[in-house]
Amino acid sequence: MTRLLTALGTCLITCSLAFPVGAGPHRLIGYDSWSVGRSNSQSAYGAGPGVLYTNPALLTDLEDQFGLGIIMIQPSLKADLMERPPNADVPITFYDSDVGIEGSNLDRPLPTVELPNPRSDNNRDSLSSYLVIGLVHSFGCEDFRLGLTMLVPASGLIGFDTYYPDERDQYFSNTVHFTRFGEFSEVFTVLLGAAYRPLDWLSVGASVETSLNAGATLNAFVPEATVQDYALANLSMDADPIARAIIGVNARPLEMLSFSVVWRDRRFFKMDTDALLNLWNYHEPGDTTVPKRVKQDHLLALDFEPMEVSLAAGVHFDELTAEVSLTWNHWSDYLDLHHQRAQETAVFEPTNPDDPEIDGSPFAFSDTWSVSTAVAWEYLQGFTATGGMAYRPSPVPPPNGAHQLCRQ
């Protein structure tokens, strides 16, 4: 009952959000057609409004423009589960035992026949489409640019799912999930920024990616605990917009050389939901009559993106442009969808007094270095061929024991 009421409250919160939030696969592939063609490597040279993410200082390279486009993304990912031996099934007689109820450990398995979904592989091949709107304007100042990029998913303004990265997901989807790829949220994304060229060879810029911190309280009264499909509920909520900062600097000591440094703050959409449950004729133990009110707190961290620092260098010869960028990704700061770190979710309270304590450190995410390269050739005026390649190593530790994160 309380899970149902909490899910109802979370759904109401999501449907009530009025501010755009940033998410999805765009940090990997790009925010417009120019950045997609360059594997999102526009850090030393810019050709479209997508530089608001890669390096906002490059806005000064752009002419006044307005553009519309469509980005379509179709992952091809599959997690194949190993064959499960029949004797691993949890029998229905498990309900008659006291296994797993010692102490405060409530994460007990369900009998196999009562799992809501059968154990299954995870396939991710759904097509996602986004309408891209880009705008750049100088407002009459040659060395100044203001840029705006919006991505509107075809499926609607907001769509996301949460899951647990371990065996607790048996109560829900009953499969393993992809930590960073494939299971993207589809949400309305906005980037706004400006750039200025104080010197002929130096440009600076900054942009913001709008996101939200939302809080809500679902206050429910259940007149009869044995009637699970009737309850009274009130909801109160508030949402505060927050902005992820992106700052970039570009220097060109020679006409043919370009060097850049970019800093991007971490970002995630935080949702904090309290569920207050009051049951009729349900009291605290003791000699006095005190109504018992149950309080649950559910904290979510959706679409986490780590803090990053990028260094880039590029060369330009007539119609040919090439660049390479090196990025440090602060993945050790990662928060999963339930606002926990991997090393925290891997540790469960021992069931029996003699059970050893679990060391969660092997499950921690690692900081990574990624590299990307891009080439562009304007073979005819107004026609450009582009290509890019990126290597982004996984911060996810290999699956080990009960903590089954999909490595990618």
User: Looking at residue 335, which CATH number applies to its domain?
Assistant: 2.40.160
136 within some domain: yes
What's the alpha-carbon Rg for the chain, to the nearest Å?
Answer: 25
Q: Which phi and psi (to 5°) does residue 339 adopt?
A: 60, 40
Which of 310, 305, 198, 304 has the alpha carbon at shortest distance from 247?
310
- C-alpha to C-alpha distance for 244 and 308, rounded to whole angstroms: 12
Question: In Å, how far from its chain's centre is CA 274?
Answer: 22
Task: Identify the pLDDT of residue 397.
Answer: 81
- C-alpha to C-alpha distance for 304 and 317, rounded to whole angstroms: 38
Task: Identify the pLDDT of residue 200.
Answer: 94
Residue ranges of the chain with per-residue pLDDT less than 70: 1-24, 98-105, 157, 212, 351, 399-408
DSSP 106: -
Contact between 59 and 94 under an 8 Å Cβ cutoff? The reply is: no
One-letter amino acid at 223 equals: P
DSSP 47: -
Instruction: Give the burial class of 30: count Cβ atoms within 10 A of its Cβ; 0-12 exposed, 13-18 middle, 19 or more buried.
Output: buried
Contact between 176 and 404 under an 8 Å Cβ cutoff? The reply is: yes
Residue-level length of the chain = 408
DSSP 382: T
Range of the domain at 63: 2-122+129-391
Which of 60, 58, 26, 3 has the alpha carbon at shortest distance from 296?
3
- C-alpha to C-alpha distance for 306 and 329, rounded to whole angstroms: 6
397 within some domain: no
Pairing of strands 267-283, 202-222: parallel
Q: Left if phi > 0, otherwise alpha if psi is -120 to 50, otherwise beta: which for 182?
A: left
378 within some domain: yes
Which of 131, 198, 121, 207 has the alpha carbon at shortest distance from 406?
121
DSSP 61: G
402 within some domain: no
Q: Name, in order, each residue with C-beta under 8 angstroms of 236's C-beta and a sequence gap of 6 or more.
A: 216, 217, 219
Which of 189, 188, 192 has the alpha carbon at shortest distance from 135?
192
379 within some domain: yes
Residue 20: strand, helix, or coil: coil
CA dihedral 108→111→117→119, nearest 10 degrees, is 90
Number of domains the chain contains:
1
45 within some domain: yes
- Structure tokens belonging to residue 262: 């970019």
DSSP string covering 241-308, please?
Answer: EEEEEEEEEEE-SSTTEEEEEEEE--EEEEEEEEEEEEEEEEE-SSSS--EEEEEEEEEEEEEEE--E
401 within some domain: no
- Structure tokens belonging to residue 24: 């999805």
407 within some domain: no
- Structure tokens belonging to residue 244: 């992820």
Task: Identify the pLDDT of residue 148.
Answer: 95
- Structure tokens belonging to residue 399: 């699956």
Task: Identify the pLDDT of residue 99.
Answer: 60
- Structure tokens belonging to residue 65: 């423009």
